[in-house]
Amino acid sequence: MARFLHLSDLHVVPEGQLVSSQLDTARLLRLAIDTLTTRLDAIGPVDAVLVTGDISDDGSTESYEIARRDLMRLGHRLLVVPGNHDGRETFRAAFSDLPEMRPTGLIDWIADIGDTRVIGLDTLIEGKGGGVLRDESLALLSEALSTAGGRQTLVALHHPPLQTGLRFMDAIGLENPNALRIVLDQHDAPVRVLAGHVHGVYHGLLGRHPVVTAPSCCSAFALDLREDAPVGFMTGPTGCALIDTGAGGVWTELPLRHGEGPFRF
Ligand SMILES: [Fe+2]
């Protein structure tokens, strides 16, 4: 088994700046990591921290320096894929010391953590909100699945291969979810697809393969499925997720704000 903390959509900007004139995302990340550091005693050991993109909001070097400094405070191995707000080259430079990071090209990788294979896929189209899986990434995925040897397998990407019903987010979703499904269908490896981008928890199926998205550390989108739903974000709920790939292990959400307690029954 292996246990992963799954963070997504940090949207960090340089100190002194706010996202959309509202969110001090550098501060929100600092507070999130403070909370998680405290909670790790109760949650138990974690083998790696997986971050599915939009680590930065503006792709700036300074935003990555801030994000990286805070993520490193968790004291665990980091696995990162870029999202639509990231800049591929500044992202690569910020995390160039991670063993999976390639010096050029797409930021796709394979990492074996305990008995679990994690496959990170780069869906970033710079300058666009939507994402795509290119042939090169799908080939790497196919190769990684065929050599997985029956291991539990996680596929991590920013854009989920799901329609959430949030119209303004579905409009900037993954262009080719079927291409992903076709590759997954060709292999027997038990696969879970993990994504971000939609700033909330959505469970769904891509064919027979479960897909789940993690909440964002900084903001959320209200569940409003009307055609004229207002476009915009909420300041919460924020959170992340914990994934245990062992037999009987579960996926659970970790909210970043808690109620009072525990009180005796
Ligand atoms: Fe995104």
- pLDDT digit string (tens) for the chain, length 265 residues: 899 999 999 999 999 999 999 999 999 999 999 999 998 888 878 999 999 999 999 999 999 999 999 999 999 999 999 999 999 999 999 999 999 999 999 999 999 999 999 999 999 999 999 999 999 999 999 999 999 998 999 999 999 999 999 999 999 999 999 999 999 999 987 899 999 999 999 999 999 999 999 999 999 999 999 999 999 999 999 999 999 998 888 899 999 987 899 999 9
Q: According to the model, what pLDDT value does residue 189 have?
A: 78
CA distances from 171 to 76, 159, 201 (A): 35, 11, 18
Distance from Cα 53 to the centre of ligand 1, integer Å: 7
Residues with CB under 5 A from ligand 1 (ion): 54, 83-84, 197
Distance from Cα 234 to the centre of ligand 1, integer Å: 15
- Report which residue type is found at 151: R
Distance from Cα 84 to the centre of ligand 1, integer Å: 5
Distance from Cα 263 to the centre of ligand 1, integer Å: 38
Q: According to the model, what pLDDT value does residue 190 have?
A: 86
For 31, the token pair is 């507070």
Distance from Cα 260 to the centre of ligand 1, integer Å: 32
Give dist(CA 245, CA 46) in Å, integer: 11
Distance from Cα 55 to the centre of ligand 1, integer Å: 9
Q: According to the model, what pLDDT value does residue 91 have?
A: 98
Q: According to the model, what pLDDT value does residue 256 have?
A: 92
Distance from Cα 170 to the centre of ligand 1, integer Å: 11
**Second CATH level (architecture) for the domain 3-255:** 4-Layer Sandwich (3.60)
Distance from Cα 174 to the centre of ligand 1, integer Å: 10
For 3, the token pair is 């246990």
Distance from Cα 75 to the centre of ligand 1, integer Å: 25
Distance from Cα 101 to the centre of ligand 1, integer Å: 20
Provide long-range contacts, Cβ within 8 A and 24+ apart, for 203-211: 204/160, 204/162, 206/161, 206/162, 206/177, 206/180, 206/181, 207/181, 209/181, 209/184, 211/160, 211/161, 211/162
For 153, the token pair is 């397998």
> What are the structural domain ranges in the chain?
3-255
Distance from Cα 155 to the centre of ligand 1, integer Å: 17
Q: According to the model, what pLDDT value does residue 44 have?
A: 79
Distance from Cα 157 to the centre of ligand 1, integer Å: 10
